[in-house]
Amino acid sequence: MEGIVAAPGMALAQAYIVTQPEISTEKRTVPDALLELERLKGAASVCYSQVEDIMSGLDGSVDPQTVEILDFQLLLLEDTDFIGKIEDAVAAQEVNAEYAIHSVSEEYIAMLDGMTDNDYLRGRVADVADLSQRLINELSGVGNKTAEPDGPYIAVGRDIAPSKVAELDKRKLKGIVLEEGGITSHCVILARSLGIPCLIEATGILVALAPGDTLLLDAVSGKALSNPDAERTQAYHEYAAGREKEKASLSKYIGLKSESADGVEMKVFANIATSAEAAEVVGQGGEGVGLFRSELLYMSQQWRAPTEEAQYAEYSAAAKALGGRPLIIRTLDVGGDKQIGYIDIGREDNPFLGYRAIRYCLDHHEIFMPQISAILRAGTDGDVQMMFPMITCKKEVVEARQVVARVRDDLDAKGVAYDHDMKIGMMVETPAAAADARILAKAVDFFSIGTNDLSQYLFAADRANAKLTALNSSLQPALLRVINEISAAAREEGIEIDICGQAAEVDALIPVWLAMGITNLSVSIPRITAVRRRIRGLRKADCELLLNKVLRLETVDEVGQALSGFSERS
């Protein structure tokens, strides 16, 4: 059976068929609406506890989007526009709760699906459907937890609900195969965050598989095979052995320095979202954290921003775990595709171009100041640095620094210890910031280039739009020329410059970053050793010759060919 690779890799394990029982949602008149309402409320309470339990069982390595998906479902269970309408339908129409859930959720889904100008809300359709089914299951007595196989397994379903993926035993889950799904569905997002292979649109697989079948998932060539023969099984084991050998070969780079063969240092940092991940960074030999995504702390709250003390505890724990290695904390980056219920930004036609990140924070000191205070205080526990997102002009940097000064005065007045000399930097992710890089380099202590956002703004191409993937390529000559100019501005001013976007860990581009004089690359934790290996195999003089050639090229294909040729020779 063939499918589309959504997350690469291979797995061989027992197939675990994840099915949804057929439960009638046909409309029925109930004899006692108040009793039915209590039944609904009881089911909602149980479901709320179930989702909370799933969230509490997640470890620190889980992608922030996983938490966001589950937190959205908790909000729905308290939302008068959703659960409130279901309760109203039961009470006013005197109908069964299953029908009320189904009809209200269908209306809600249709409303969200119709918001063609808001990808965030359209992306919540799967979450509404998932929660609705969870409620109906609970009402019917079917339950939401099914027995998993005792050993390793590959989950197979039509389109497995995100909350179901989140509650599966990650020690046994080796892959996911879907008959339907989409390349950006939440199930696929979770598979990528877990680092497991995933195949979608594998038509007919549910019919072809029987309970207990062995499944070979080849999410490299895009195939799934039930009960493979000895030859194919052997080929898989050779693949798995190769992967283990690759891991073993990379492990020797954990304790080595990130420097080129001719002694030019370019440190390898990591991107994290929780303090729990900091220990893993150290374990993989990471030399610091180039991006701590603080918004997860805010997303994990239901009704209000996390307190200053809660933030301080999280930042302090990360700093201590890093043992003196740099910890760069990005201040709240809300808006765009990161909506938080209690932060009412309002509906925007173009949220990525809207009231987000530093723009919101500068207008809402009640949110901004406690975070700044927590970061400054955590600076006493390690090498903590502060970074502002979405900067477009010097005025925003000046105003943000003024807020920092106010917080310092408050801490001084209270006699609270904090880092008086903390470095303050900024993300360079807008064309305006890139154009004014020489001005901005004088106003901050370091730059960090967010290549994902910089690319989408530079090319006016939504990075979530699959039709525009080619425009958002990190090999775009215009993007590379812009980054080179930003790097030059940083070097002239003598400040550090990091890259924390996806392009930081692209093997073919690492020689370009070394030649540009990038100080640090901040990558995903699993890529730390591979990136370090690549750096150590390079010579800066060779990389500079490559850079001079690349900067004169005019198309993505030309850049790709130049980089490929260099990689083959180096």
Count CB atoms within 10 A of the CB of residue 88: 14
Position 266 pLDDT exceeds 90: yes
Number of domains in the chain: 2
pLDDT for 398: 98
For residue 416, the SS3 value is: coil
Task: Tell me if 237 is assigned to some domain.
Answer: no
Q: Predicted confidence band at 356 (pLDDT cuts at 50, 70, 90)? A: confident
Picking from 115, 124, 203, the residue whose alpha carbon sits closest to that of residue 159 is 203
- Give dist(CA 361, CA 363) in Å, integer: 5
What is the DSSP secondary-structure string of 52-101? Answer: HHHHHT--TTS-HHHHHHHHHHHHHTT-TTTHHHHHHHHHHH-B-HHHHH
pLDDT in tens, 118-149: 545 556 777 888 888 889 988 888 765 667 88
d(CA 428, CA 436): 10
3-state SS, 242-281, equals HHHHHHHHHHCCCCCCCECCCCCECEEEEEECCCHHHHHH
Domain harbouring 40, CATH code = 1.10.274.10
Do residues 129 and 264 both lie within one domain? no
Residue with tokens 């309408």: 85
pLDDT tens digits, one per residue of 372-408: 999 999 999 999 999 999 999 999 999 999 999 999 9
Under 8 Å between Cβ of 247 and 27: no
**Looking at the predicted structure, is the pLDDT value of residue 481 above 80?**
yes
At 53, list the tokens.
């339990």
Which tokens go with 284? 């993989």
Contact 547, 508 (CB under 8 A): no
Q: Provide the pLDDT for residue 477.
A: 96
> Is residue 331 within 8 Å of residue 389, measured between CB atoms?
yes
More confident residue, 28 or 117: 28
Residue 25 located in a structural domain: yes
- The pLDDT, as a whole number, for residue 186 is 64
Least confident of 328-337, 361-370, 391-400, 441-450: 328-337
Catalytic residue among 47, 187, 500, 543: 500
Find the catalytic residue in 47, 186, 361, 543. Answer: 186
Provide φ and ψ at 25, rounded to 5°.
-115, 25
Distance (Å, whole) CA 335 – CA 343: 9
- Per the DSSP assignment, residues forming a β-bridge with 272 are 292
Question: Is 332 in the same domain as 458?
Answer: yes
Does residue 314 sit within a domain?
yes
Mean pLDDT of 67-73: 75
393 included as an active-site residue: no
For 149-154, the CB contacts below 8 A with 24+ separation are 149/14, 149/16, 151/13, 151/14, 152/13, 152/14, 153/13, 153/14, 153/15, 153/16, 154/11, 154/13, 154/14, 154/15, 154/16, 154/215, 154/217
CB 448 within 8 A of CB 500: yes
d(C-alpha 188, C-alpha 61), whole Å:
16
Q: What is the C-alpha to C-alpha distance for residues 300 and 284, in angstroms, rounded to an integer?
A: 27
Task: Enumerate the β-bridge partners of residue 71.
Answer: none
361 domain-assigned: yes
| Residue in 361, 421, 349, 350 with CA at minimum distance from that of residue 390 | 361
pLDDT of residue 28: 92
Percent of the chain with pLDDT over 70: 90
- The residue ranking higher by pLDDT, 347 or 421, is 421
Lowest mean pLDDT among 200-209, 232-241, 296-305, 526-535: 296-305
Is the model's pLDDT at 107 over the cut of 90?
Answer: no
Cα(328)–Cα(270) distance, integer angstroms: 10
Phi, psi of 429 (to 5 degrees): -140, 10
| pLDDT of 339 above 60 | yes
Task: Supply the mean pLDDT for the chain.
Answer: 87
Residue 502 lies in a domain: yes
Mean pLDDT of 87-102: 92
Average pLDDT over residues 298-313: 83
Domain-embedded: residue 238: no
d(CA 111, CA 217): 37
Of 104, 123, 140, the position where a domain reaches its end is: 140
Q: For residue 336, name the pLDDT band (cuts at 50, 70, 90).
A: low
Predicted pLDDT of residue 510 = 97
- Classified as helix, coil or strand, 189 is helix
Please provide residue 252's backbone torsions phi and psi, each rounded to the nearest 5 degrees. -70, -15
Give the domain-ending residue among 88, 107, 140: 140
End residue of a domain, out of 111, 140, 169: 140
**Buried b / exposed e across 261-297, counting CB within 10 Å, b at 16+?**
eeebebbbbbbbbbbbbbbbbbebbbbbbbbbbbbbb
- Is 90 exceeded by the pLDDT of residue 560? yes
Rank 70-74, 176-180, 442-446, 458-462 by mean pLDDT and report only the highest: 442-446
For residue 365, the model assigns a pLDDT of 95
Paired residues of 4 in beta bridges = 200
The residue type at 6: A
* Range 463-481 average pLDDT: 83
Three-state DSSP state, 534 = helix
| Distance between CA atoms of residues 416 and 378, nearest Å | 11
Residue 149's pLDDT is 83
* pLDDT at residue 555 tops 70: yes
- 186 tagged catalytic: yes
pLDDT for 97 beyond 80: yes
H helical segments located in 415-555: 431-435, 437-440, 451-458, 477-493, 510-516, 528-536, 540-550
Condensed to tens digits (0 to 9), the pLDDT of residues 513-551 reads 999 999 999 998 888 999 999 999 999 999 999 999 999
Residue 433 lies in a domain: yes
- The 8-class DSSP code of residue 331 comes to P
Chain centroid to CA 157: how far?
24
Q: Which helix (H) or strand (E) holds 210?
A: none
Give the per-residue pLDDT at 353. 84
Alpha helix segments (H runs only) across 383-460: 394-414, 431-435, 437-440, 451-458
Residue 392 to residue 319: CA distance in whole angstroms:
29
Same domain, 272 and 132: no
- The amino acid at residue 565 is G
CATH number of the domain where residue 395 is located: 3.20.20.60
Let me know if residue 227 belongs to a domain. Answer: no
Q: Write down the pLDDT at residue 448.
A: 97
CA torsion sign, 467 to 468 to 474 to 478? Answer: positive
Confidence of residue 300 (pLDDT cuts 50, 70, 90): low
Average pLDDT over residues 450-456: 90
Q: Which domain holds residue 452?
A: 258-569
Q: Examine the pLDDT at 177 and tell me if it is beyond 60.
A: yes
What is the pLDDT, as a whole number, of residue 245? Answer: 86
